[in-house]
Amino acid sequence: MPRPRILVTRRWPAAVEAVLAERFDVSLNTNDVALNATQLRAALRDYDAVLPTVSDRLPADLFEGEPLRTRILGNFGVGFNHIDIAAAKARGIAVTNTPGVLTDCTADIAMLLLLSVARRGGEGERQVRAGEWVGWSPTHLVGTKVTGKTVGIIGFGRIGRAFAQRCHFGFGMNVVFYNRSAIDPHEAARYGAEQLPTVEDVLAVSDFVSLHCPGGAENRHLMNASRLAAMKPGAILINTARGDVIDEQALIAALENGTIRGAGLDVYEAEPNVPERLRQMENVVLLPHLGSATEETRTAMGMKVVDNITAFFDGREPPDRVV
């Protein structure tokens, strides 16, 4: 019986690609350039499984029309708002993701952003590299203290909880959070956190706000102009979730007008495009979507995909099935 044909849309860790090659008839994107809509549509027609990443856009129209060979999308990542789940389901295509394995590394990046913006690390690093630092002075690049401040978390899933743990037990911060569903107070207390009823309640008391909610329609522009205005004037916004959770133009205006103090971003609305106005701001730290970018985590993510598609083609339920 022929092995299933698999397309890996971007380069993955070599160890994972080797396992895929052992088990399946694998095609790799050797150029490691994101596929366009025409190429993705052809992949759905020609392969039994397509293994996409956040850089691959799979809207509803890609699933329309001609017969599709693809039976499963093994997504490399926990977020899947770049895939039209309803359209995939309507064509009988299963979708899986990779939860759990990137929790700690993403929480670490959120902490890195928080500290970098608060202590003006990005500005200082640029000064040193440009040869512009003239020596220590009492008023040079004065930032804001982190210890003892209040951090507000939007979304208290795995990553939100890991971030809360770092903030409270690592930096002595007070932690409040908003979550769509109620969290047992005893469970929240394990992370030094307290749930508040609304997003606005969290924004009103937080010196730092960190987003850890899913992307997609239900949370698109959750942080809009009115919610940015509801933040404390000296507050800092951190986003390691998905770019569309923030109205980017409203954020730019809030930063330019001094509505908030600064921002740390790892994700953007139209990746890899980052607005010029954001790139020119000194009070913003910008990272190129590094949340899961460690050797250990990226390998674990790839092996999650391997486990999911192996189970599927063996006739078993994939452990991380979304639809």
Between CA 102 and CA 85 the distance in angstroms is 22
205-232 residue pLDDT tens:
999 999 999 998 899 999 999 999 999 9
When the pLDDT of each residue in the chain is averaged and rounded to a whole number, the result is: 97
Instruction: Give which of 167, 149, 62 is closest to 112, Cα–Cα.
Output: 167
90-100 residue pLDDT tens:
999 999 999 99
The mean pLDDT value for 271-291 works out to 97
Q: What pLDDT is recorded for position 217? A: 86
Residue 259 pLDDT exceeds 90? yes
Q: CA separation (Å) from 124 to 5, 127, 144, 193?
A: 50, 5, 14, 32
The mean pLDDT value for 99-106 works out to 97
238 backbone dihedrals φ, ψ, rounded to 5°:
-120, 135
Helices (H), the chain: 14-23, 37-46, 85-90, 103-118, 121-129, 158-165, 171, 185-189, 199-205, 225-229, 248-256, 276-279, 295-313
User: What's this model's pTM, rounded to 2 decimal places?
Assistant: 0.96
**Which residues are known to be catalytic?**
242, 271, 289
136-156 residue pLDDT tens:
999 999 999 999 999 999 999
Determine if residue 83 is left, alpha or beta; phi over 0 gives left, psi from -120 to 50 gives alpha, anything else beta: beta
What domains are there in the chain, each with its CATH number? Answer: 5-97+295-314 (3.40.50.720), 102-286 (3.40.50.720)
| Position 1 confidence tier, pLDDT thresholds 50, 70, 90 | confident
165-207 residue pLDDT tens:
999 999 999 999 999 999 999 999 999 999 999 999 999 999 9
